[in-house]
A and B are shown apart, each in its own frame.
Chain A
Amino acid sequence: MMPRTLAGRAGFYAFILVIMLFSVFPFYYAVVSSFKTGSELFEVTYWPTFNMENYVSIFTEQPFGRNILNSVIVAFAVVAISLTLGVLASYALARVSFRGRGLLLVTILAVSMFPQVAVLSGMFEMIRVLGMFNSLPGLILANMVLTLPFTVWVLTTFMTELPKELEEAAFVDGATPLQVVRRVFLPLMGPAMAATGLLAFIVAWNEFLFALTFTLSNEMRTVPVAIALITGATQYELPWGNIMAASVIVTVPLIVLVLIFQRRIVAGLTAGAVKG
């Protein structure tokens, strides 16, 4: 509850201010730095100038546009596949009782706890055998291990909460299970799909270990790898201005998405976690 003394209130708002600064300032400072070039970077300042030089140079000095495109392709494909497979599976898991369902749910949850590195060598071999090394399909496949289990899990939680009578009414109306999913449940799962899809998008967009290990050339890298591997003219001079500009570019869309879908993301996170 809100403190009732003046000092208490002042303390409360000071705490809120600290929370705000703590959350927002590092990114703000990255934005400020991204507009600095040359020796401006060697001086700590707090107000932005608007010099776009770094933003131009990351697209000209390296295939950053291509990297963004790779990330977009991988993330969208991963979201589309995860949601399609996930929503079908979640109907089976949430709405049909069959032997082994509990075990299956536990297994899926356990897979989402896998350390990524535990599949690394096996995945490396498989991707090379399938001829998908240094390619986007390879990355899409690898990302499924990260997104699919929690997509299934979260969608199952949401699917369980839909009223049983709706499904029964549809069966009495003559619908098949696929029609129940497509015409009755899917339209009602809109918010859940948005939340789950967004979480999957963020996971795929941010994925680093697979993208680092399964790509070789600059042209096939996704954004996080490209940023991690930005190098300067000499080995010892990291181009911090470029790095900050690249960071800002890949982060702004995410922040916008998160701010818009704030409530749904929280709903998705809690559905996935609290019920676990």
Chain B
Amino acid sequence: MQGSELTRAKVRSALVFLAPMLLALALAAGWPLGRTLWFAFTDASLTDNGYSFIGFENFWNSEWGGLLEDGNWWQAVGNTLYFTFVSVALETVLGVGIALALDVPFRGRAIVRAAVLIPWAIPTVVSAKMWGWMLHDQFGLINDLGMSLGLLDQPVAWMANSATALTAIVAVDVWKTTPFMALLVLAALQMLPRDIYEAARIDGIHPVRVFFRVTLPLIRPALMVAVIFRGLDALRAFDLMYAMTANNESTMTMSVFARQQLVDFQDVGYGSAAAALLFVMVAVLTAAVLTLGRVRLTGGAR
């Protein structure tokens, strides 16, 4: 191989250019992740400097059960899965609906499209507080509106009631994240050739049929990517639950559970074990997605 100086210079530069990024990533992701996975097999705590390897005891032991027999953990798992499935499903349906509407040219479309981005731009903590205020049991707008419209007999303590709190959190997430979904779907819609719609119109096919037979199959790849990314994102949700209900068990997700063990109960080992389980779950799903979508991925770069 008689590689020219140009090729060698390019490969050399590539390594030099990659090094700072890889170093930063190793420092901010690789090392901490490795440590977390290690802590998961120890009895480390924030209060005590010494710790020792205890194998799988954080996950399961005969003395006090461990994570796999911890009711709170399983509730957190259940909450997370419920939150993920319900919110992503609603966001997808609403997102597609909004995207279809915004795909139609009409006066003021640019304004509506910009307005739709507002919930997405608002920090999660702020939206949690905004909605927390609107859902306030005594002075909240929702109760006031519900009662004056006759939908509610008496004020509901949305966030205090374990039955409604998670639903309320799902609603806030749907409000905040639907725009993201809508814009991704809209981008996919706008890449479709216009003439297929015109052809369908000339053939006199009902718009609903056109949607299910033509539009949906064509945007499905983009939609799937958006749904998968959103789903993986929802599995690690933390901000919304913590800002709305703090460490309340009825809305606690896996991330909230892990942080509570880690920081509030200072049990680094146990919290790390929970974090590790969440990581493994997300990693397995990500690996599955990446393997299935591998062909498209490598096609992305030259």
Contact = CB atoms under 8 A, between A and B. Distances in A.
Direct contact of A and B (CB under 8 A): yes
Interface of A: 1-2, 12-13, 15-16, 19-20, 22-24, 26-27, 29-30, 33, 41-44, 81, 84-86, 88-89, 91-98, 101-102, 104-106, 108-111, 113-126, 141-142, 144-145, 148-149, 152, 156-157, 160, 164, 171, 176-178, 181, 202, 205-206, 208-209, 212-213, 223-225, 227-228, 240, 243-244, 247, 250-251, 254-255, 257-259, 262, 265-266, 269-270, 273-276
Given A30-B130, A94-B301, A96-B11, A120 B258 contact: yes
Contact of A270 (B126, B184, B201, B243): B184
B208 to A, nearest CB: 12
A96 B115 contact: no
Interface centre among A205, A208, A258 (most CB of B within 10 A): A208
Interface stretch (B63-71, B82-90, B161-169, B224-232): B224-232
Given A89-B17, A208-B238, A258-B121, A276 B115 contact: no
Contacts of B20: 84-85, 88-89
B297 A122 contact: no
A240 B239 CA distance: 19
B276 A141 contact: no
Interface in B130-144: 130-131, 133-134, 136, 138-141, 144
Given A224-B125, A244-B133, A270-B187, A157 B300 contact: yes
B290 A121 contact: no
Contacts of B31: 122, 126
Interface residues of B, number: 106
Given A15-B101, A208-B125, A93 B242 contact: no
Given A110-B286, A118-B276, 18 more contacts: A16-B106, A89-B21, A113-B286, A114-B236, A118-B282, A119-B36, A122-B33, A145-B25, A148-B28, A225-B125, A227-B129, A251-B121, A257-B121, A258-B121, A262-B117, A265-B117, A274-B187, A274-B225
Contact of A1 (B184, B207, B254, B302): B207
Nearest to B226: A273
B106 A247 contact: no
A119 B9 contact: no
Contacts of B298: 102, 105
B15 to A, nearest CB: 7
A118 B36 contact: yes
A116 B124 CA distance: 15
25 contacts: A1-B207, A16-B106, A16-B112, A19-B116, A26-B134, A92-B17, A95-B10, A109-B297, A111-B25, A114-B29, A118-B278, A121-B36, A121-B39, A141-B28, A144-B25, A145-B25, A152-B21, A157-B300, A171-B6, A208-B239, A209-B259, A269-B180, A269-B187, A274-B187, A276-B229
B272 interface: yes
Given A96-B10, A121-B275, A206-B125, A255 B262 contact: no
Contact of A26 (B25, B35, B175): B175
Contacts of B118: 23-24, 27, 255, 258
A156 B180 contact: no
A27 B226 CA distance: 26
A270 B180 CA distance: 10
Chain A interface helix/strand/loop/mixed: helix
A84 B23 CA distance: 13
Given A89-B21, A92-B17, A224 B126 contact: yes
Contact of B129 (A2, A88, A115, A247): A247
The 5 lowest CB-CB distance pairs between A and B, nearest first, are A122-B35, A122-B32, A92-B14, A115-B236, A177-B13
Interface in B103-129: 104-106, 112-129
B235 interface: yes
A74 to B, nearest CB: 13
Interface string B172-208: 0001000110011011100000000100010000010
Nearest to A256: B121
A134 B297 CA distance: 39
